Structure 1
Amino acid sequence: MYSGFARFYDVLQGGTPEPFAAWIERRAAELGREVESILELGCGTGAVLDLLPAAWAKVGIDVSPDMLEIARIKGVDADLIEADIRDIALDRRFDVVACVYDTVNHVPVSDWPRVFAVASGHLETDGMFLFDMNTLGRLRGGAGRSETTVAGGSTVTISISDERDDRYDWHVRIEGDHDPIDETIAEYGASLTDVRRMLTEAGFTRVEVSGGRDRPVDDEAPRLFFACRR
């Protein structure tokens, strides 16, 4: 995943790391004590980690070696580990565990409990798990559509296929002064009710959900943001 696409990722995302980093800092401040560490599940090119306070000890996990290599080239100050976020077992705990940029949507829904268990198992007792997801409404609304943008001198076309068992394939084609790059990235959707149940089963007793910018908190919101504590 994100192999040939990796070197275009930051350009395509534009300024979006800043709001995610600001959200993480704002919610982390609610711990009411000094934050010392963060684990990011699905850190990609390290764009979010790079914006967080330098005083925080940072660890980033990603399954894509190409994305991690870009993070290293950029000089992101974090321990970067190539691994599947469903299976990691680090011998340490963190004040904050984050999983942003709808990373959880890249995992089949049947494995979301494993991701939530990893997050819970790596949190300090009073720590916070922060993540966001594309909703079923957003995924279903995008199915069958195609969008073309220009980024970094290349033309990027993203087409989203129709639903198959709550799976939506994002077909990415990048053309420019290079050989065409084609990649298919799967996203999976789950209902808010099912996500709440999975979080409870993972041991989270306090779950706050927002739709961002005062939007409704339901399956039709474009994106939902979760702040979870045990």
Structure 2
Amino acid sequence: MSCYQSLAGAYDALIVDGAHRKRAAYLHRLLQKEKQRVETVLDLGCGTGTVTCLLAALGYRMIGADLSEEMLTEAARKAEALPENQRPLLICQSMNRLRLTEPVDAAVSTLDALNYVTSNAAMRETLRRVFKWLRPGGLFVFDVNTPYKLRRMDGEVYTDETEDSFCVWRTAFSEKTKVCTYGVDLFSLRPDGAWDRAWEEHRERAWEETELRLLLETAGFQEIHVTGDLRQSPPCAGEDRVIFRCRKPEGSQKQPQTQKRSNA
């Protein structure tokens, strides 16, 4: 069973951390400080589209990309609450197969979406594709769960519940692969009072700052900065999440050709 095939419908109720609006506001402040006006923004690994839609409501022309059709279905339902001219374009694509119809002014990725890229080759290609589709001078901002957090989760059991769903997360961290595996049991209440059970597996890679810096530099990014979560200051010891900011050089010649929208 693929990631989020069963969890997608219950994700917002179970997983909401209360920080979506703060995260969108943080990104908005960064984008407003850009020298060139930012109009089109890619949300890579957009999930159920909460941050995507919040940024769209702030006036950005949003493109939300995610591999999970089920998560994108939830994002599309959420987007229906926006005026038609503000609704994001949602595309079902793997991060390392990203292909857009036009360059974007900026790219963001939130809530540890990039941790789901678990191999060096896939991360290298993902960053290369983001770089390719950014306009020269474009900003890329993303957050990741830290190795400290993922190691700490080894052997833990977590639960989330609502009136009609109950979720159990069992985690295991491998020092050999640097991957934290989540086994997720989801119980959903049926109209007849019985419960359905579904299971799916999630895997997140613990990326060291030095690894990501090297991969970003290899892709061509410059001005690489790392901060604590939703802050402008450097990370502290024991941070659970950090934010990377980097930029495609203004003089870069690696620029994609605009394609017809039907080819996305």
TM-score range, shorter chain: over 0.9
Secondary structure, aligned partner of 1:48: helix
Partners of 2:221 and 2:247 within 8 A in 1: yes
Q: Report the CA distance between 1:153 and its aligned residue.
A: 3.0
Counterparts of 1:1-230 in structure 2, within 5 Å, are 1-14=3-16, 15-54=18-57, 55-75=59-79, 77-110=87-120, 111-163=122-174, 164-177=176-189, 178-212=195-229, 217=235, 220-230=238-248
* One-letter amino acid of the counterpart of residue 223, structure 1: R
**TM score, norm. by length of structure 1:** 0.93
Q: Distance in 2 between matches of 1:104 and 1:152?
A: 31
Q: 1:136 to 1:33 in 2, by over 3 A?
A: same
Q: How many residues align?
A: 230
Partners of 1:27 and 1:227 within 8 A in 2: no
Gaps of 5+ in 2: 81-86, 190-194, 249-264
Q: 1:131 to 1:152 in 2, by over 3 A?
A: farther
Q: Distance in 2 between matches of 1:95 and 1:180?
A: 43
Larger mean Cα displacement after TM superposition, 169-178 or 134-143? 169-178
Q: Distance in 2 between matches of 1:138 and 1:214?
A: 20
Gaps of 5+ in 1: none
Q: Distance in 2 between matches of 1:62 and 1:161?
A: 25
- Name the Cα RMSD after superposition: 1.8
Larger mean Cα displacement after TM superposition, 22-31 or 206-215? 206-215
Q: Distance in 2 between matches of 1:48 and 1:152?
A: 25
Partners of 1:136 and 1:219 within 8 A in 2: no
Partners of 2:155 and 2:172 within 8 A in 1: yes
Partners of 1:143 and 1:160 within 8 A in 2: yes
Q: Report the CA distance between 1:219 and its aligned residue.
A: 7.5
Q: 1:29 to 1:74 in 2, by over 3 A?
A: same
Counting aligned pairs with the same residue, the percent is 29
* One-letter amino acid of the counterpart of residue 221, structure 1: E
Report Cα offsets for 1:134-179 as digits up to 9, x if no partner.
1111100111111112235322111111315111111111224131
Partners of 1:97 and 1:122 within 8 A in 2: no
Q: 1:60 to 1:53 in 2, by over 3 A?
A: closer
Q: 1:215 to 1:151 in 2, by over 3 A?
A: farther
Report Cα offsets for 1:23-76 as digits up to 9, x if no partner.
211111121343211011111111111101443211111110111111112235
Q: 1:51 to 1:86 in 2, by over 3 A?
A: same
Larger mean Cα displacement after TM superposition, 151-160 or 197-206? 151-160
Q: Report the CA distance between 1:211 and its aligned residue.
A: 1.4
In our comparison, the structure showing a higher alpha carbon Rg is: 2
Partners of 1:191 and 1:219 within 8 A in 2: no
Partners of 1:142 and 1:160 within 8 A in 2: yes
Larger mean Cα displacement after TM superposition, 132-141 or 18-27? 18-27
* One-letter amino acid of the counterpart of residue 167, structure 1: V
* One-letter amino acid of the counterpart of residue 175, structure 1: F
